[in-house]
Structure 1
């Protein structure tokens, strides 16, 4: 039950950050510290979600194409997918790596869309505790306050690339999105080939697209 609850919190934190990216961002934002990027996005995300649910703006699903374009810029899906696959990444030819990244991105995005459709928007508050920067990498430590009467620690891992800080992992109460997917992929690859994993991912994305 605890693991299930933490996974639910993980998706909540991720979708709040994901949909914060629908806010137009000034060109100077790329030079902002990572904590400022996370703070500005997260605090405006709830406004988007609530306005969509109230009928004051198009629904999240109607904005799907728009959101996908923006998310592509601010999420480092290549880094996220590479880390999620682990050591087997280096063994794959470039075309299979590219397909894996595309399918991985589609799976995450479709999951976000499904989750946000049922998001009711409660009274959570967000605390931005600290950031640490080590070269081109950074960690921003935050807390979701008032989530089911408790505080939840959410850490964002970012990488600075092409003049922008991009999110490549989110850790909720010690559970990493990347590590979670790496475990799932490793379990499948223990019994199937990489081509078999790609087939599973294609099937999953197709099923999500029909729902």
Structure 2
């Protein structure tokens, strides 16, 4: 009986989320979002925008996200092409996430239970962020989830989900076919057009 109990405890321990990631992921997101929201509440200036950009750069794994949008096409790109594509994609992510955060200004933000990644997302943690609707809102604020992983000893965001739709999956569906059928330059022009939209 004792042996069975020990085996059961060992199995539970193996199935439990790693404490170094679980809990730490929510704290990482909370700390980063608090700093970013405080920055966005400051008067507009070039210095403020640089600080916000630097904080986002510390939070996101832009290289990993850019590679994921191209899937198996990524390995065929030159180092210079990868760097240029990653820079464009990083600008898109910053723009998207900044708009998301601006929608949270003045609202109570809560963090729900973390969810461990499964399948292809194994080893990552999803942090669910919810902003409370204001009386003046015509609709509920979007549901925002961030998926983080720890590729080099530091937790980084590898995807942002808005109402269940992942940013990386969305761009993979749009950009990868362009890269396959029209080439690298066309894929980067596609990203540039996305950036040029309001």
SS for the counterpart of 1:171 is strand
Correspondence 1:82 to 2:59: no
The structure richer in strand per residue is 1
Q: 1:93 aligns with which of 65, 78, 97?
A: 78
Distance in 2 between residues matched to 1:158 and 1:120, nearest whole Å: 20
Give the distance between the partners of 2:132 and 2:101, measured in 1 at CA. 21
1:144 and 1:74 map into 2 onto residues whose CA distance is 19
Q: 1:34, 1:131 within 8 Å by CA — same for their partners in 2?
A: no
* Structure 1 residue 103 corresponds to structure 2 residue 88: yes
3-state secondary structure, aligned to 1:129: coil
Q: How does 1:6-21 map to 2 (within 5 A)?
A: none
Gaps in structure 1 of 5+ consecutive residues: 1-29, 53-57
Preserved contact between residue 60 and residue 157 of structure 2 (Cα < 8 Å): yes
Give me the TM-score of the superposition, normalised by structure 1: 0.63
Q: Is residue 65–residue 168 contact of structure 2 (8 Å, CA) maintained in 1?
A: yes
SS of structure 2 residue aligned to 1:137: coil
Flag the 1:137–1:144 CA change in 2: closer, same or farther, 3 A: same
Higher radius of gyration, 1 or 2: 2
Q: In structure 2, what is the Cα distance between the partners aligned to 1:89 and 1:154?
A: 27
Check 1:200–1:171 CA distance in 2 against 1; reply closer, same or farther (3 A cut). Answer: closer
Q: What is the alpha-carbon distance in structure 1 between the residues aligned to residue 126 and residue 65 of structure 2?
A: 17
Deviation at 1:162, TM superposition (A): 3.1
Q: Quick check: 1:160 aligned with 2:146?
A: no
Runs of at least 5 residues in structure 2 that lack an aligned partner in the other structure: 1-20
Q: Partner of 2:158: helix, strand, or coil?
A: strand
Matches within 5 A, 1:1-211: 33-50=24-41, 52=42, 58-59=43-44, 61-112=46-97, 115=99, 121-132=105-116, 137-147=123-133, 148=137, 150=140, 152-189=142-179, 191-202=181-192
8 Å contact kept, 2:56–2:94: no
